[in-house]
Amino acid sequence: MKSIPGNIRLLQIPQINPNDYYVDFLEWRVSHSAHVDGGVAVASVETSKSVIDITADVSGYLYHLKEPAKEMKVGEVIGFLSQSEIQSEQLQIEIAHVIEREANNRVPMVKDNAPLIGEALVVTKKAREVLTRAGLTVEKLNKKTGVIKESDVLQYLRSQGRPDDSDRVAIVDLRESINRKNHIDETHGILEHGVDCFIGPGVSLSNVRIGDRVWINKGATIYGKSVQIGSDSYVGPYVWIEGHAGVAIGRSVHIAGPGTCLYTHSGMKIALQGGPMGNPGHKVASDYYYEQTISIGNNVWIGPNCTIFPGVVIENNVVVMPNALVKSGLYPSYCLINPDGSVEHNSSFVKQLSSKS
């Protein structure tokens, strides 16, 4: 694991009084990326008893990580001093990441004994899911305090005349579907499926949940811990979907084949961090190995021979052009992703595609 470089000094919220868990971070007294001499006060904090300065113990360049705020946890890293100037913003962010991860690995001063403060509103996970599906933010619900539950969001949607068009896979009781005609072989690794589905020859599936009328064409491979495919979707021939971190595909999605791949894991960072890469037989013991879910909304068209990276979130009504390399990130509704990964919203091509004529 890469550790914090030796020429970096961390600036942390100090513990002055043994009974303080929180300290108010008042101000930065030296600006971001400025050079400071050792012994200079760079920031001030207020404890329950007094205002205290945080001084630079060595000379160097100061980089802010946190902005002044009330009630910061004792021990929290608010910035760092570097002996050499770091000009690349990318590198600054990288160092910030390393520091953050180190901080997470360190056993914190106050784990869950910290009081729950400064929170008036709690949004449950289920409520958040519905909000995301509906493309809404919490503010829309106009609730300032208390708990927002799934039922609250659904009620709001109903009041807006938009019943939740849940694109979660329609899961039909298997006993029911026995009576329906399904082209599904018992040997397929399908956990749940809807009605009138078709699985082509040579398809390899495991841990897959599919909705109604899903068509998976010949030679496609879908595996991993959890892959969901909504109703009326199509997976083309020789498409490869790896879902170890989870893949959620909405309704009416067309993934053209052949050659389109969806990956939820990556070793790219390991390569850049100097390995070792490991191999599939060995569990990769690197912190740079990472997994992220892929989520694809409703009514998305994905061309053949595309590669979709971990952490991609594609919203509803999106086109992915053939041969596209889709890197991690959020792709909003009504856009077009070019083969080079660029995104078009209002280009003439998009207008041409979206016009009815």
Contact status: 1 vs another protein (CB under 8 A): no
Distance from C-alpha of 354 to C-alpha of 357, rounded to nearest angstrom: 9
Distance of closest approach, residue 97 Cβ to another protein, in angstroms: 23
Handedness of CA 131, 136, 141, 147 (dihedral sign): positive
Cβ closer to another protein: 35 or 143?
A: 143
Answer for which of 27, 88, 105, 125 binds another protein (CB under 8 A) is 125
Q: How far is CA 268 from the centre of its chain?
A: 17
Cβ closer to another protein: 115 or 163?
A: 115
Cβ closer to another protein: 71 or 94?
A: 71
Contact status: 111 vs another protein (CB under 8 A): yes
Stretch that binds another protein, among 31-39, 108-116, 171-179, 207-215 (CB under 8 A): 108-116
Q: Could you tell me if 45 and 25 are in contact, meaning their C-beta atoms sit under 8 angstroms apart?
A: yes
Distance from C-alpha of 194 to C-alpha of 202, rounded to nearest angstrom: 20
- How many chain residues bind another protein (CB under 8 A)? 27
Distance of closest approach, residue 266 Cβ to another protein, in angstroms: 27
Compute how many other C-beta atoms are within 10 angstroms of the C-beta atom of residue 137. 9
299 φ/ψ sector (left φ>0, alpha ψ -120 to 50, else beta): left
Distance of closest approach, residue 100 Cβ to another protein, in angstroms: 20
Q: Could you tell me if 302 and 260 are in contact, meaning their C-beta atoms sit under 8 angstroms apart?
A: yes
Q: Could you tell me the maximum CA-CA distance found in the chain, to the nearest angstrom?
A: 80
Q: Could you tell me if 61 and 81 are in contact, meaning their C-beta atoms sit under 8 angstroms apart?
A: yes
Cβ closer to another protein: 148 or 256?
A: 148
Distance of closest approach, residue 48 Cβ to another protein, in angstroms: 7
Q: Could you tell me if 214 and 194 are in contact, meaning their C-beta atoms sit under 8 angstroms apart?
A: yes
Stretch that binds another protein, among 116-124, 172-180, 326-334, 337-345 (CB under 8 A): 116-124
Contact status: 117 vs another protein (CB under 8 A): yes
Distance of closest approach, residue 111 Cβ to another protein, in angstroms: 6
User: By CB under 8 A, what part of segment 15-74 binds another protein?
Assistant: 17-22, 48
Run of H or E residues at 176: helix 174-177
Nearest Cα to Cα of residue 30 among 19, 38, 21: 38
> Would you call the peptide bond into 322 cis, given omega within 30 degrees of 0 as the criterion?
no
Stretch that binds another protein, among 56-64, 76-84, 90-98, 104-112 (CB under 8 A): 104-112
Contact status: 12 vs another protein (CB under 8 A): no
Contact status: 116 vs another protein (CB under 8 A): yes
Query: What are the residues binding another protein (CB under 8 A)?
Result: 17-22, 48, 107, 111-113, 115-117, 119-126, 145-147, 149-150
